[in-house]
Structure 1
């Protein structure tokens, strides 16, 4: 049953939560770790495809390997095997190569980004191109070294990931006819596509390597690194059912007051209400309730209203078959109903057989999720980038803004845990801060100006306030750097199905396809035919020397 809402509701949910080895599909590695801005997984049928010429292609899940440099500042260290997936269903000679990385995830299972059930495949179909999914370094099995220790992670930086894209594009030999002669701008235009963090990586790469990609598509791109990212919850507060937000705000205000100045009996009553009596620290208890708001990140236009987030709101707002008014039922009912929702099912969904301290506590540096250095541990790999470079700590709002989550959790809460994840990495600093200013200076954040880069954002995206459509962002839509914004959620525009369901998502997809078509129309390859070697002009020779010098300077920066 739908509760009352602020605005017409665009239908919802993609993935319900499940617990496998205490790792949740939205990027949380245990119940109290914020999700990463992960791009949605979209798979394709594993069977073979047929090219436009009628040839049978390898199965879509065929895995290829590329010899990627361990350290772009020191090539002598050697290479590692970086996985990628590839198809040329619509490719014609000279067509674009569409390169995509899912970012902070094992890339196995993202084969949907090779075919036209995603914007990547739509671009390839329209432009007669080939598609690639490249696994990001330090995710899945694409690991430069055999573990995720500090010794390994020093090669895990945004700049190394950008250099990976450059080195891959300029050196890969694709397993397709003419696949050894698709070097960017020499024979073929390359298009970089990404969503969420990898959408930001798309923008950052085009700032850092301005002559590499002919065009880019960045969905829900979190281009502005932000330490105190309380704005994560603002789109949720704006677009969730109004009665639900009113009651959530009331409960959180009450809990913060009790945990700050209440009696021991009052504090223990709150903890028991949520089945958290054995959770020691009060900021962990209050912070754990963020999980119900994080469920919003799983929503998409193409799914129904039976998802976990709306089950939560209905648990609070539907009483004896009646739905609360816009002001909600009030504190007493909401607190009791929220507690019942947790103790009847939700806590088990989060923690399974784990006790609440090991599942939701953040003060024991010996917990497995802090100490596991094995590869294919996306939570650890992402947390390294969070602690060092981007922040995005999802905390309570300032006191002059209504808040859906506790103000007892502030950036120092997460910064403290960075020392548990990576002991010795930050010296004696008890609350190391990520260097977001360096990232925003190097890659321009909201201020990036890039030719032929399309931004696709969503009003309901919880990561909106780090994108070019954030309140306060100076970015404006132009013909060379358009910003299309839909009524979608996080990366909704990447999915073809979402475009069929939501006309605003479809409009953004169509706007992007038209822009990319125009940007490729005047592309002039320097050597389309391998049988007619191209003699470079003096201007091109000078430009190549400038490019090499620029690349060497970039590689020399640690």
Structure 2
């Protein structure tokens, strides 16, 4: 917004198809989701810009696109595909490389707990996860785990997919806090002193009595039905199953979380929600085509600034070094996801973020002739 004020710009925020109210044919069926893709979204953006520039007020205006995370991908790709329409772009925290098994994500999460928490915290997390793994191998252990985590009696924790679902929700506890050193330190203190991990607030499958949660359901089949019925997660899942992957598995050995969330868990989510044809082969083919189309971490593009924070696990899929003088990259130390786009005022003491913002504004002004 500071950039917009300095260059006297109009800020417009178009809505991505299938997110919010912009649902083609008002239909979220699998058949209609065929019209959901980054290619279609970029074509929508092209049409939107052309429509706006028909107005006399904007017909000679320069166009700068901004985006963070997936929309950071779109910002870079819009400049690449439509250079005659898009004059410059800021691509923040953009995971430009599609990857089916994104095991690096949890590696970074583990490293951050060691760096901003402590080695003792890292080791305690590993100990707790190893205990979960051991408990799930016996009937007595399962009963103990169900008691400790208030797992619903009807949830069969002998079922492998239900065990994976348990780890899926538990890991959300960790991935939700890794952008903030203070949060990591606070939660590390809790983990070490209490010898436990609380994930309850993340479990969408709660069962209530008198408005109070009485148990927590880790049934994989129930989770699938919830995704089918509630559309808030379905569009993004579809894009990961058809274009991007981004599946945060535990298949690496370089983290403290044990290997109890395999990439096959996510493949099964795709097939169970969208149909048997959305299998591993289709997912990997979609990832391959995405990288071939856009260039992964080396897109053929100029007049784009790429920004990442080194605390952000998504930076592992981003552009971290200059592609050219006209496509520079900056990595902000001790910064999280899209930190350069967060609310920022004169009292903000983050000099590292401020330096990158100043650099970005200078480059964008240069590229639009100011």
TM-score bucket of the superposed structures, by smaller chain: 0.7 to 0.9
Partner of 1:160: 40
Q: 1:437 aligns with which of 280, 284, 288?
A: 288
Partner of 1:276: 151
TM-score by length of 2: 0.85
Q: 1:518 aligns with which of 351, 366, 369?
A: 366
Q: 1:368 aligns with which of 213, 226, 233?
A: 226
2:52 is the alignment partner of 1:172: yes
Farther off after superposition, 236-245 or 442-451: 236-245
| Secondary structure of 1:497's aligned partner | coil
**Distance in structure 2 (CA, Å) of the matches to 1:425 and 1:147:** 20
2:87 is the alignment partner of 1:214: yes
Specify every segment of 5 or more residues in structure 2 that has no aligned partner in the other structure, as ranges.
157-161
What is the CA distance between 1:182 and its match in structure 2? 2.2
Partner of 1:202: 75
Farther off after superposition, 231-240 or 380-389: 231-240
Q: What is the aligned residue count? A: 352
**Distance in structure 2 (CA, Å) of the matches to 1:393 and 1:237:** 16
> Is the alpha carbon distance of 1:211 and 1:220 closer, same or farther for their aligned partners in structure 2, counting shifts above 3 Å?
same
Specify every segment of 5 or more residues in structure 1 that has no aligned partner in the other structure, as ranges.
1-120, 320-332, 470-474, 523-558
The structure with the greater share of residues assigned to helix is 2
8 A contact 1:230–1:393 mirrored in 2: yes
Partner of 2:24: 144
What is the CA distance between 1:138 and its match in structure 2? 0.7
Partner of 2:243: 389
**Distance in structure 1 (CA, Å) of the matches to 2:95 and 2:167:** 27
Report the structure number with the largest CA radius of gyration.
1
> Is the alpha carbon distance of 1:234 and 1:412 closer, same or farther for their aligned partners in structure 2, counting shifts above 3 Å?
same
Matches for 1:119-518 after TM superposition, within 5 Å: 121-172=1-52, 179-183=55-59, 187-240=60-113, 241-242=117-118, 243-259=120-136, 262-276=137-151, 278=153, 279-280=155-156, 281-296=162-177, 299=179, 305=182, 311-317=186-192, 319=193, 334=195, 337-338=196-197, 342=198, 346-348=199-201, 350-351=203-204, 352-353=206-207, 359-364=217-222, 367-372=225-230, 377-399=231-253, 401=254, 403-423=255-275, 426=278, 429=279, 432-434=282-284, 435-469=286-320, 475-476=321-322, 478-486=324-332, 487-497=334-344, 500-518=348-366
**Distance in structure 2 (CA, Å) of the matches to 1:444 and 1:366:** 33
8 A contact 1:236–1:296 mirrored in 2: no
What is the CA distance between 1:136 and its match in structure 2? 0.7
1:28-56 alpha-carbon deviations (Å, 9 max, x no partner): xxxxxxxxxxxxxxxxxxxxxxxxxxxxx
**Distance in structure 2 (CA, Å) of the matches to 1:213 and 1:404:** 44
What is the CA distance between 1:216 and its match in structure 2? 0.3
> Is the alpha carbon distance of 1:222 and 1:448 closer, same or farther for their aligned partners in structure 2, counting shifts above 3 Å?
same
8 A contact 2:251–2:263 mirrored in 1: no
Aligned Cα root-mean-square deviation (Å): 2.7
| Secondary structure of 2:233's aligned partner | helix
1:379-411 alpha-carbon deviations (Å, 9 max, x no partner): 111111011110111111423x2x243412111
TM-score by length of 1: 0.58
> Is the alpha carbon distance of 1:347 and 1:491 closer, same or farther for their aligned partners in structure 2, counting shifts above 3 Å?
same
> Is the alpha carbon distance of 1:430 and 1:133 closer, same or farther for their aligned partners in structure 2, counting shifts above 3 Å?
closer
What is the CA distance between 1:265 and its match in structure 2? 1.8
1:390-448 alpha-carbon deviations (Å, 9 max, x no partner): 0111111423x2x243412111111111122223653xx48852411100110001011
> Is the alpha carbon distance of 1:236 and 1:360 closer, same or farther for their aligned partners in structure 2, counting shifts above 3 Å?
same
| Secondary structure of 1:154's aligned partner | helix
| Secondary structure of 2:313's aligned partner | coil
**Distance in structure 2 (CA, Å) of the matches to 1:507 and 1:229:** 30
